[in-house]
Amino acid sequence: MPLAPVDETVSIGDLVRDPYPIYRRMRAETPVVRVPSVKRTFLTKAAHTKMVKDDVVRFSSNDPTTPMEPAFRAHTLMRKDGEEHRRERMAMQKAFTPKVIKTNWAQLYRDITDRYLDRLPRGETVDLYSEICAPVSARILTHILGLEGASDEEMMRWSQQLIDGAGNFGWDPKLFEITDKANDEMDVHIAACAERLRAEPNDSALSLMVNAADPIPWSQIVANIKIAIGGGINEPRDAMATIVYGLLTNPDQLEEVRRQEAWGAAFEEGIRWVAPIQASSRLVMEDTEIGGIDIPKGDIVMSIQASANRDEELFEEGEDYHVFRDKNPHQAFGTGPHHCAGAHIARRTVGEIMMPELFERFPNMSLPDPEAIVWHGFGFRGPLSMPVTLN
């Protein structure tokens, strides 16, 4: 079989600005394609991205050239498979279950959301992205993880810096200098919180890990918390901003979502449409074949879930935001053993609490200039602001 065709025309800059027309073309013409600017083989079809992520024997998570390792100063669970991955993941998974959220946290999340909504002025245009989406996500995450004492600003900055480092596929050394400093700050704060939680345990992820009967190594506890900081603020922030945009630019859908209280469906469609995490790498462990293309051992394939989520084989009018789809088998949370550990939290905080509270508080909210919104990102993607007029 042939090797993957090579696409020399696509630059990282193109992908950061607007990858979707590129992915649409790739799905139609070269669904499995080598992209030299990213040094990876892109998989753009839903069947292929799912197959690769479900099969950790042929496609290892341990991408040896991931910028994640310098960015987090750790070999994190996201780059491990099998028992080691299971043990580290399960060490904090129970802090993220639907039952824990419902019984211990839901009211606190509502109160936090209300408090931040209370601060917004009526009759003015405000940037929801910086006033609500980011700080509410940060405040909620601080409680989930057990990092009380960290400010919104610190949590948001750490998250952004980790994400910028993890997505540093151009290996710019300056970005790693920034993550080094953020790691120093996080290490100090996590250690202080752990000491407090040993004395006063609660249901947070850090408490669960440090007080476990058979705890995982401290280095991995810290790495796990950092992964959750990286994945627990920017992603709900971007998801929320994207859904606000989708609903405000489709008022007929917003009306129907309100009528049916279909906030969960609005959430799922938002993350399908513009997945906050767009792509992930896997190392090929043996010579294999994907979609009639030979893939050699040692190659690094990139599962482009952003593209899978608009695959014409699964979605009609996939380029558009349509809440009321019959089925929505998106891969925004990934698939396989590395399926997002925070999926339950995201669905409940963003879908069941933040979105309905926002639209209930500001029923006539409007987006004055949708064209002015800038969308940004290749590995991680979302709008850079969401200025809305409140009334």
Partner 1 sequence: MVKVTYVAADGTRTDVDAEPGSNVMQTALDNDVDGIVGECGGAMMCATCHCYVDEDWTGATGARNDGEDDMLDCAADEVKPSSRLSCQIKLTEALDGLVVHLPEEQA
**Judged by CB under 8 A, does residue 17 bind partner 1?**
no
Q: Is 46 exposed, middle or buried (0-12, 13-18, 19+ CB in 10 A)?
A: buried
Provide the H-helix boundaries in the chain.
12-17, 20-29, 46-54, 68-72, 82-93, 98-100, 106-118, 128, 134-145, 152-166, 173-199, 205-210, 218-232, 234-248, 251-260, 263-273, 305-308, 343-346, 355-361
Contact with partner 1 (CB under 8 A) among 8, 99, 259, 369: 99
Helix, coil or strand: residue 298: coil
Spatial neighbors of 71 by CB under 8 A, at least 6 apart, are 162, 164, 165, 166, 168, 175, 176, 179
Q: How many CB atoms lie within 10 A of CB 265?
A: 19
Contact with partner 1 (CB under 8 A) among 335, 379, 381, 383: 335
**Judged by CB under 8 A, does residue 313 bind partner 1?**
no
Instruction: Considering only the stretches 67-75, 94-102, 294-302, 360-368, report the one whose residues sit in contact with partner 1 under the rule CB under 8 A.
Output: 94-102
Contact with partner 1 (CB under 8 A) among 94, 122, 181, 198: 94
- Backbone region of residue 73 per phi and psi (left: phi > 0; alpha: psi in -120 to 50; beta: other values): left
Contact with partner 1 (CB under 8 A) among 9, 11, 97, 103: 97
Tell me how far, at minimum, the Cβ of 352 lies from partner 1, in Å.
11
Q: Is 355 exposed, middle or buried (0-12, 13-18, 19+ CB in 10 A)?
A: buried
**Judged by CB under 8 A, does residue 42 bind partner 1?**
no
x/- letters, 224..263, toward partner 1 (CB under 8 A):
----------------------------------------
x/- letters, 50..79, toward partner 1 (CB under 8 A):
x--xx-x-----------------------
**Judged by CB under 8 A, does residue 333 bind partner 1?**
yes
Compute φ and ψ for 335, nearest 5 degrees: -140, 170
**Closer to partner 1 at the Cβ: 254 or 275?**
275
Nearest to 43 by CA among 217, 314, 291: 291
Contact with partner 1 (CB under 8 A) among 115, 119, 198, 339: 339
Instruction: Considering only the stretches 83-91, 113-121, 158-166, 378-386, report the one whose residues sit in contact with partner 1 under the rule CB under 8 A.
Output: 83-91
**Closer to partner 1 at the Cβ: 97 or 219?**
97
- The two tokens of residue 16 are 């950061």
Facing residues of 23 across strands? none
Contact with partner 1 (CB under 8 A) among 3, 90, 191, 192: 90
Nearest to 225 by CA among 144, 281, 122: 144
Facing residues of 280 across strands? 303
**Closer to partner 1 at the Cβ: 160 or 335?**
335
Instruction: Considering only the stretches 31-39, 203-211, 334-342, 367-375, report the one whose residues sit in contact with partner 1 under the rule CB under 8 A.
Output: 334-342
Query: Is residue 276 within 8 Å of 388, Cβ to Cβ?
Result: no
Q: Which residue carries 């994640």 as its tokens?
A: 68
Contact with partner 1 (CB under 8 A) among 291, 337, 356, 387: 337
**Closer to partner 1 at the Cβ: 61 or 234?**
61
Tell me how far, at minimum, the Cβ of 97 lies from partner 1, in Å.
4
- The two tokens of residue 260 are 């049916």
Tell me how far, at minimum, the Cβ of 65 lies from partner 1, in Å.
25
Contact with partner 1 (CB under 8 A) among 27, 139, 310, 338: 338
Instruction: Considering only the stretches 132-140, 190-198, 314-322, 331-339, report the one whose residues sit in contact with partner 1 under the rule CB under 8 A.
Output: 331-339
Q: Give the binding site for partner 1 (CB under 8 A).
A: 50, 53-54, 56, 86, 89-90, 93-94, 96-99, 333, 335-339, 343-344, 347
